[in-house]
């Protein structure tokens, strides 16, 4: 399975996937890591692992549509089987989402459908939620709204801050995301219509 991973920042999820490929846990290889930010630390992680990197700076494009056309072409040039969004902080145009329908996953730091968008950890604390977590989902036109494949839960503790909670969720993400990519690489996971299907069962 050829993967292309899109990042904007630290890339700790990227690192988990790099490690999982290296260990043979995921039967696949990362063909390239693409960032919209030149200073994303994840680019260093990729280079240290000997993975090709590209920076595609959105500020060089007049519109989101033009940027996403270029991004689609860049992704295509690596002929991936799966596109993995790992902290890629861009809203994607419907055209780009269509292009990789059923072949693009995202990880979001909440128990979707709760808390789409930003500041998820603080919102879970403010709502007095007993549980919080992370979700991996197929990407559709609806932001953080595509079919959920799998979730990891953590307890919200009485003295949690957004930072302490984020740290525990992050740890779970690093287990969850490689697992779901592994399933995809084993062809156990597809998207049919608007549903995720695992081992021929609709989720």
- Which positions are annotated as active-site residues? 108
Site for ligand GRF in 138-177 (CB under 6 A): 170, 173
- Is 101 annotated to bind a ligand? Reply is no
Give the pairing of strands 2-7 and 29-35.
parallel
Q: In what order do the strands lie in the sheet with 201-202?
A: 189-192, 195-198, 201-202
Q: Is there a contact between 133 and 85 (Cβ–Cβ < 8 Å)?
A: no
- Residue 125 has φ and ψ, to the nearest 5°, of -65, -45
Give the nearer residue to ligand GRF in terms of CB position, either 80 or 87.
87
Task: Please identify, among the stretches 11-19, 29-37, 60-68, 96-104, the one whose residues bind ligand GRF according to the rule CB under 6 A.
Answer: 11-19
Residue position matching structure tokens 């390239």: 32
Q: How many residues interact with ligand GRF (rule CB under 6 A)?
A: 16
Give the nearer residue to ligand GRF in terms of CB position, either 91 or 192.
91
107 binds ligand GRF (CB under 6 A): yes
The binding track of 16-55 with respect to ligand GRF, each residue x by CB under 6 A or -, is --------------------------x-------------
Strand partners, 155: 131
Shortest separation between residue 134's beta carbon and ligand GRF, angstroms: 6
Among 17, 86, 112, 150, binds ligand GRF (CB under 6 A): 86
Q: Is there a contact between 88 and 56 (Cβ–Cβ < 8 Å)?
A: no
Among 5, 6, 11, 149, binds ligand GRF (CB under 6 A): 11
Cβ-in-10-Å burial (0-12, 13-18, 19+) of 148 comes to middle
Give the pairing of strands 104-108 and 131-138.
antiparallel
Please give the Cα distance from 70 to 86 (Å, whole number): 19
72 binds ligand GRF (CB under 6 A): no
Residue ranges for the binding site for (6R)-10-formyltetrahydrofolate?
64, 89-92, 106
Site residues for ligand GRF per CB under 6 A? 7, 9-14, 42, 86-87, 107-109, 134, 170, 173
């Amino acid at each position: 399975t050829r993967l292309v991973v899109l990042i904007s920042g630290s890339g700790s999820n990227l690192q988990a996937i790099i490690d999982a490929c290296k260990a043979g846990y995921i039967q696949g290889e990362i063909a390239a890591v693409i960032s919209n930010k030149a200073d994303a630390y994840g680019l260093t992680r990729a280079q240290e692992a000997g993975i090709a990197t590209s920076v595609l700076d959105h500020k060089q494009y007049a519109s989101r549509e033009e940027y996403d056309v270029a991004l689609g072409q860049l992704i295509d040039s690596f002929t991936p089987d799966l596109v993995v969004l790992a902290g890629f902080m861009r809203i994607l145009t419907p055209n780009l989402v269509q292009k990789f329908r059923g072949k693009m996953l995202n990880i979001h730091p909440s128990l979707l459908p709760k808390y789409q968008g930003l500041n998820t950890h603080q919102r879970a604390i403010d709502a007095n939620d007993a549980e919080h977590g992370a979700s991996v989902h197929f990407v559709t036109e609806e932001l953080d709204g595509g079919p959920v494949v799998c979730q990891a839960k953590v307890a919200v503790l009485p003295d949690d801050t957004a930072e302490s909670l984020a740290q525990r969720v992050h740890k779970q993400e690093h287990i969850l995301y490689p697992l779901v990519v592994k399933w995809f690489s084993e062809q156990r996971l597809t998207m049919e219509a608007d549903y995720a299907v695992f081992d021929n069962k609709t989720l």
